[in-house]
Amino acid sequence: MLVTMKEMLEDAKKNHYALPAFDVSNYEMMKAVLETCEEEKSPALLMGLGVDLKGRDLNLLTSMIKGASEFYNIPICFHLDHATDLEFIKSAIGAGFSSVMFDGSVLPFEENAKKTAEVTKFAHTKGITVEAELGHVGNASVGSISETGTDTDPGESLTVPEEVKKFVEITDVDALAVAIGTAHGVYQKTPELRIDRLDEITAICDRPLVLHGGSGTPDDQMKNAIHHGITKINIYSDVLFALNQGLKNYLNTMTNPSTWPFLVYEDAIKMMKDVVREKLRTFGSSGRV
Ligand SMILES: [Zn+2]
Protein backbone atom coordinates (compact mmCIF):
# COMPACT_ATOMS: atom_id res chain seq x y z
CA MET A 1 0.00 0.00 0.00
CA LEU A 2 1.09 3.58 -0.67
CA VAL A 3 1.69 5.71 2.42
CA THR A 4 3.12 9.19 3.00
CA MET A 5 6.73 9.70 3.95
CA LYS A 6 5.70 11.47 7.14
CA GLU A 7 4.47 8.33 8.90
CA MET A 8 7.54 6.37 7.77
CA LEU A 9 10.02 8.98 8.98
CA GLU A 10 8.25 9.58 12.27
CA ASP A 11 8.59 5.90 13.13
CA ALA A 12 12.26 6.01 12.09
CA LYS A 13 12.85 9.09 14.25
CA LYS A 14 11.14 7.52 17.26
CA ASN A 15 13.00 4.24 16.95
CA HIS A 16 16.42 5.61 15.89
CA TYR A 17 16.88 4.06 12.48
CA ALA A 18 16.90 5.49 8.95
CA LEU A 19 15.24 4.57 5.68
CA PRO A 20 17.36 4.30 2.58
CA ALA A 21 15.48 6.13 -0.19
CA PHE A 22 16.15 4.70 -3.63
CA ASP A 23 15.70 6.58 -6.90
CA VAL A 24 14.12 4.22 -9.42
CA SER A 25 14.28 4.92 -13.15
CA ASN A 26 12.76 1.75 -14.60
CA TYR A 27 10.99 -1.56 -13.96
CA GLU A 28 14.11 -3.52 -13.02
CA MET A 29 15.18 -0.97 -10.39
CA MET A 30 11.67 -0.91 -8.92
CA LYS A 31 11.50 -4.71 -8.78
CA ALA A 32 14.92 -4.98 -7.13
CA VAL A 33 14.01 -2.45 -4.42
CA LEU A 34 10.48 -3.71 -3.68
CA GLU A 35 11.39 -7.41 -3.64
CA THR A 36 14.31 -6.81 -1.30
CA CYS A 37 12.30 -4.56 1.04
CA GLU A 38 9.62 -7.23 1.30
CA GLU A 39 12.19 -9.98 1.93
CA GLU A 40 13.82 -7.81 4.60
CA LYS A 41 10.47 -6.74 6.10
CA SER A 42 11.34 -3.07 5.64
CA PRO A 43 9.13 -0.18 4.55
CA ALA A 44 10.05 0.84 0.97
CA LEU A 45 10.91 4.41 0.11
CA LEU A 46 11.14 4.85 -3.66
CA MET A 47 11.88 8.11 -5.43
CA GLY A 48 11.39 9.45 -8.93
CA LEU A 49 13.69 11.95 -10.64
CA GLY A 50 12.59 14.68 -13.04
CA VAL A 51 14.81 13.36 -15.81
CA ASP A 52 12.69 10.15 -15.86
CA LEU A 53 9.36 11.96 -15.62
CA LYS A 54 9.18 13.99 -18.78
CA GLY A 55 5.82 14.17 -20.59
CA ARG A 56 3.82 10.97 -20.37
CA ASP A 57 6.63 9.19 -18.50
CA LEU A 58 5.41 10.95 -15.35
CA ASN A 59 2.14 9.01 -15.49
CA LEU A 60 3.73 5.79 -16.75
CA LEU A 61 6.29 5.50 -13.95
CA THR A 62 3.79 6.55 -11.28
CA SER A 63 1.14 4.11 -12.53
CA MET A 64 3.69 1.30 -12.52
CA ILE A 65 4.69 1.95 -8.92
CA LYS A 66 1.12 2.52 -7.70
CA GLY A 67 0.11 -0.74 -9.38
CA ALA A 68 3.06 -2.63 -7.95
CA SER A 69 2.37 -1.31 -4.45
CA GLU A 70 -0.76 -3.50 -4.35
CA PHE A 71 1.29 -6.66 -4.73
CA TYR A 72 3.76 -6.15 -1.89
CA ASN A 73 2.86 -6.56 1.79
CA ILE A 74 4.88 -3.59 3.01
CA PRO A 75 4.21 0.16 3.31
CA ILE A 76 5.49 1.92 0.18
CA CYS A 77 6.08 5.62 -0.36
CA PHE A 78 6.72 7.13 -3.80
CA HIS A 79 8.53 10.42 -3.33
CA LEU A 80 9.38 13.04 -5.96
CA ASP A 81 13.09 13.82 -5.66
CA HIS A 82 14.59 17.29 -6.33
CA ALA A 83 11.70 19.18 -7.93
CA THR A 84 12.26 22.90 -8.44
CA ASP A 85 8.91 23.96 -9.89
CA LEU A 86 5.50 24.20 -8.18
CA GLU A 87 3.55 23.47 -11.37
CA PHE A 88 5.52 20.25 -11.92
CA ILE A 89 4.97 19.29 -8.28
CA LYS A 90 1.21 19.76 -8.79
CA SER A 91 1.31 17.46 -11.84
CA ALA A 92 3.33 14.87 -9.91
CA ILE A 93 0.85 14.90 -7.03
CA GLY A 94 -1.97 14.58 -9.57
CA ALA A 95 -0.18 11.59 -11.10
CA GLY A 96 0.00 9.83 -7.72
CA PHE A 97 3.20 10.69 -5.87
CA SER A 98 2.56 10.37 -2.11
CA SER A 99 5.40 12.72 -1.15
CA VAL A 100 7.46 15.47 -2.80
CA MET A 101 10.73 17.31 -2.36
CA PHE A 102 10.95 20.96 -3.28
CA ASP A 103 14.60 21.84 -3.78
CA GLY A 104 15.17 25.57 -3.41
CA SER A 105 18.64 25.02 -1.98
CA VAL A 106 20.42 27.20 -4.54
CA LEU A 107 18.07 30.13 -3.80
CA PRO A 108 18.65 32.82 -1.17
CA PHE A 109 17.12 31.91 2.23
CA GLU A 110 14.03 34.13 1.95
CA GLU A 111 13.15 32.90 -1.54
CA ASN A 112 13.73 29.26 -0.63
CA ALA A 113 11.49 29.64 2.43
CA LYS A 114 8.76 31.48 0.48
CA LYS A 115 8.63 28.95 -2.38
CA THR A 116 8.83 25.97 -0.02
CA ALA A 117 5.91 27.43 1.96
CA GLU A 118 3.84 27.65 -1.25
CA VAL A 119 4.55 23.99 -2.00
CA THR A 120 3.77 22.91 1.55
CA LYS A 121 0.52 24.85 1.60
CA PHE A 122 -0.65 23.14 -1.58
CA ALA A 123 0.65 19.65 -0.76
CA HIS A 124 -0.76 19.55 2.78
CA THR A 125 -4.29 20.18 1.50
CA LYS A 126 -3.86 16.94 -0.49
CA GLY A 127 -2.34 15.00 2.41
CA ILE A 128 1.07 14.90 0.75
CA THR A 129 4.37 15.10 2.65
CA VAL A 130 6.98 17.73 1.74
CA GLU A 131 10.76 17.60 2.06
CA ALA A 132 12.84 20.75 1.52
CA GLU A 133 16.57 21.49 1.55
CA LEU A 134 18.40 24.16 3.50
CA GLY A 135 22.07 24.68 2.77
CA HIS A 136 23.12 22.98 -0.46
CA VAL A 137 24.40 19.45 -1.12
CA GLY A 138 26.70 19.85 -4.11
CA ASN A 139 27.83 17.41 -6.77
CA ALA A 140 30.83 15.21 -6.01
CA SER A 141 32.25 15.71 -9.48
CA VAL A 142 30.98 18.13 -12.08
CA GLY A 143 29.90 16.36 -15.26
CA SER A 144 29.45 12.96 -13.62
CA ILE A 145 26.10 11.19 -13.34
CA SER A 146 24.32 12.76 -10.41
CA GLU A 147 20.92 12.65 -8.75
CA THR A 148 20.17 16.11 -10.01
CA GLY A 149 21.60 15.51 -13.45
CA THR A 150 23.18 18.95 -13.52
CA ASP A 151 26.73 20.03 -14.25
CA THR A 152 26.15 23.65 -13.28
CA ASP A 153 26.14 22.98 -9.57
CA PRO A 154 27.21 25.90 -7.36
CA GLY A 155 28.97 23.55 -4.92
CA GLU A 156 28.37 22.70 -1.32
CA SER A 157 27.23 25.12 1.37
CA LEU A 158 26.63 23.68 4.82
CA THR A 159 23.28 24.16 6.55
CA VAL A 160 23.36 27.09 8.99
CA PRO A 161 21.71 25.93 12.25
CA GLU A 162 20.44 29.44 13.10
CA GLU A 163 18.36 29.43 9.89
CA VAL A 164 16.73 26.04 10.50
CA LYS A 165 14.22 27.09 13.14
CA LYS A 166 13.00 30.07 11.13
CA PHE A 167 12.79 27.97 7.96
CA VAL A 168 10.64 25.32 9.65
CA GLU A 169 8.37 27.97 11.16
CA ILE A 170 7.81 29.68 7.80
CA THR A 171 7.42 26.52 5.72
CA ASP A 172 6.01 23.82 8.05
CA VAL A 173 7.97 21.20 6.07
CA ASP A 174 7.63 17.55 7.08
CA ALA A 175 11.29 16.66 6.52
CA LEU A 176 14.43 18.70 6.01
CA ALA A 177 17.46 17.79 3.89
CA VAL A 178 20.63 19.18 5.42
CA ALA A 179 24.11 19.76 4.02
CA ILE A 180 26.67 18.37 6.46
CA GLY A 181 29.45 17.20 4.15
CA THR A 182 27.95 14.72 1.67
CA ALA A 183 27.70 15.25 -2.10
CA HIS A 184 25.68 13.85 -5.01
CA GLY A 185 27.21 11.41 -7.49
CA VAL A 186 30.50 9.55 -7.28
CA TYR A 187 33.00 10.81 -4.68
CA GLN A 188 36.50 11.77 -5.77
CA LYS A 189 37.62 11.61 -2.14
CA THR A 190 36.06 10.16 1.02
CA PRO A 191 33.60 12.59 2.63
CA GLU A 192 33.98 13.69 6.25
CA LEU A 193 30.56 14.30 7.78
CA ARG A 194 30.17 17.26 10.13
CA ILE A 195 28.43 15.49 13.02
CA ASP A 196 29.02 18.57 15.19
CA ARG A 197 26.91 20.59 12.75
CA LEU A 198 24.24 17.87 12.68
CA ASP A 199 24.04 17.96 16.50
CA GLU A 200 23.47 21.71 16.43
CA ILE A 201 20.62 21.22 13.93
CA THR A 202 19.06 18.27 15.79
CA ALA A 203 19.02 20.30 18.99
CA ILE A 204 16.69 22.93 17.49
CA CYS A 205 14.75 21.03 14.79
CA ASP A 206 11.83 18.72 15.57
CA ARG A 207 11.38 17.56 11.94
CA PRO A 208 12.94 14.37 10.51
CA LEU A 209 16.31 15.10 8.86
CA VAL A 210 17.46 13.82 5.47
CA LEU A 211 20.90 13.13 4.07
CA HIS A 212 21.44 13.30 0.30
CA GLY A 213 24.47 11.77 -1.40
CA GLY A 214 24.48 8.53 0.62
CA SER A 215 26.12 6.50 -2.17
CA GLY A 216 29.82 6.05 -1.46
CA THR A 217 29.61 7.53 2.05
CA PRO A 218 31.37 5.08 4.45
CA ASP A 219 28.99 2.93 6.55
CA ASP A 220 30.46 4.01 9.89
CA GLN A 221 29.81 7.67 9.03
CA MET A 222 26.23 6.96 7.92
CA LYS A 223 25.56 4.94 11.10
CA ASN A 224 26.92 7.80 13.13
CA ALA A 225 24.70 10.29 11.28
CA ILE A 226 21.66 8.07 12.01
CA HIS A 227 22.68 7.93 15.66
CA HIS A 228 22.73 11.74 15.65
CA GLY A 229 19.30 12.20 14.07
CA ILE A 230 19.26 11.40 10.32
CA THR A 231 16.12 9.40 9.34
CA LYS A 232 16.33 9.19 5.53
CA ILE A 233 19.39 8.68 3.34
CA ASN A 234 19.15 9.02 -0.44
CA ILE A 235 20.83 6.38 -2.58
CA TYR A 236 21.15 6.43 -6.34
CA SER A 237 24.68 5.99 -7.67
CA ASP A 238 25.33 2.71 -5.78
CA VAL A 239 22.24 1.05 -7.32
CA LEU A 240 22.99 2.52 -10.73
CA PHE A 241 26.51 1.10 -10.58
CA ALA A 242 25.12 -2.36 -9.73
CA LEU A 243 22.59 -2.19 -12.58
CA ASN A 244 25.10 -1.13 -15.20
CA GLN A 245 27.88 -3.42 -13.98
CA GLY A 246 25.52 -6.41 -14.00
CA LEU A 247 24.39 -5.58 -17.54
CA LYS A 248 27.96 -5.02 -18.68
CA ASN A 249 29.07 -8.39 -17.30
CA TYR A 250 26.32 -10.14 -19.23
CA LEU A 251 26.45 -8.16 -22.47
CA ASN A 252 30.22 -8.45 -22.79
CA THR A 253 29.90 -12.23 -23.06
CA MET A 254 26.57 -12.45 -24.91
CA THR A 255 26.86 -14.22 -28.26
CA ASN A 256 23.19 -14.20 -29.29
CA PRO A 257 21.50 -10.75 -29.21
CA SER A 258 18.05 -12.46 -29.34
CA THR A 259 18.38 -13.50 -25.69
CA TRP A 260 15.43 -13.32 -23.25
CA PRO A 261 15.47 -10.04 -21.29
CA PHE A 262 14.97 -11.88 -17.99
CA LEU A 263 18.33 -13.56 -18.60
CA VAL A 264 20.02 -10.33 -19.66
CA TYR A 265 18.88 -8.55 -16.47
CA GLU A 266 19.36 -11.49 -14.09
CA ASP A 267 22.81 -10.51 -12.76
CA ALA A 268 21.95 -6.81 -12.72
CA ILE A 269 18.87 -7.41 -10.56
CA LYS A 270 20.79 -9.69 -8.21
CA MET A 271 23.56 -7.08 -7.84
CA MET A 272 21.03 -4.28 -7.21
CA LYS A 273 19.26 -6.43 -4.61
CA ASP A 274 22.56 -6.99 -2.79
CA VAL A 275 23.14 -3.21 -2.61
CA VAL A 276 19.56 -2.56 -1.38
CA ARG A 277 19.78 -5.32 1.25
CA GLU A 278 23.07 -4.01 2.55
CA LYS A 279 21.64 -0.48 2.97
CA LEU A 280 18.45 -1.72 4.67
CA ARG A 281 20.49 -3.68 7.20
CA THR A 282 23.11 -0.97 7.77
CA PHE A 283 20.49 1.74 8.33
CA GLY A 284 18.39 -0.49 10.62
CA SER A 285 15.17 -0.47 8.60
CA SER A 286 15.15 -4.28 8.10
CA GLY A 287 12.55 -5.99 10.29
CA ARG A 288 10.49 -2.83 10.92
CA VAL A 289 7.32 -4.05 9.17
ZN1 LIG B 1 19.70 14.55 -3.68
State the Cα angle at 190 between 188 and 192, rounded to 5°: 130
* pLDDT attached to residue 2: 86
* H-state helical runs in 99-149: 109-125
Read off the pLDDT of residues 11-41 as tens digits, 9 standing for 90 and up: 999 999 999 999 999 999 999 999 999 999 9
Read off the pLDDT of residues 225-275 as tens digits, 9 standing for 90 and up: 999 999 999 999 999 999 999 999 999 999 999 999 999 999 999 999 999
CA distance 84 to 67: 27
Q: Is 100 exposed, middle or buried (0-12, 13-18, 19+ CB in 10 A)?
A: buried
Q: Which domain holds residue 160?
A: 5-283
> How many angstroms is it from 107 CA to the middle of ligand 1?
16
Q: Is residue 288 domain-resident?
A: no
Read off the pLDDT of residues 82-96 as tens digits, 9 standing for 90 and up: 999 999 999 999 999
Smallest CA-to-CA distance from 153 within 131, 135, 137 is with: 137
Q: What is residue 116's three-state secondary structure?
A: helix
> How many angstroms is it from 259 CA to the middle of ligand 1?
36
* pLDDT attached to residue 143: 39
Catalytic site residues?
A: 81
* pLDDT attached to residue 144: 44
* pLDDT attached to residue 151: 53
CA distance 288 to 281: 11
* pLDDT attached to residue 188: 87
CA distance 167 to 133: 10
CA distance 151 to 69: 34
> How many angstroms is it from 78 CA to the middle of ligand 1?
15
Read off the pLDDT of residues 139-163 as tens digits, 9 standing for 90 and up: 886 434 444 445 567 677 899 999 9
Read off the pLDDT of residues 99-140 as tens digits, 9 standing for 90 and up: 999 999 999 999 999 999 999 999 999 999 999 999 999 888
> How many angstroms is it from 138 CA to the middle of ligand 1?
9
Q: Is residue 94 domain-resident?
A: yes
Chain-wide mean pLDDT for the chain?
93
Provide the number of structural domains found in the chain. 1
Q: Is residue 289 domain-resident?
A: no
> How many angstroms is it from 47 CA to the middle of ligand 1?
10
Q: Is residue 17 domain-resident?
A: yes
Q: What is residue 211's three-state secondary structure?
A: strand
Read off the pLDDT of residues 199-229 as tens digits, 9 standing for 90 and up: 999 999 999 999 999 999 999 999 999 999 9
> How many angstroms is it from 212 CA to the middle of ligand 1?
5
Q: Is residue 33 domain-resident?
A: yes
> How many angstroms is it from 278 CA to the middle of ligand 1?
20
Q: What is residue 81's three-state secondary structure?
A: strand
CATH of the domain at 270: 3.20.20.70
Q: Is residue 122 domain-resident?
A: yes
Q: Is residue 241 domain-resident?
A: yes
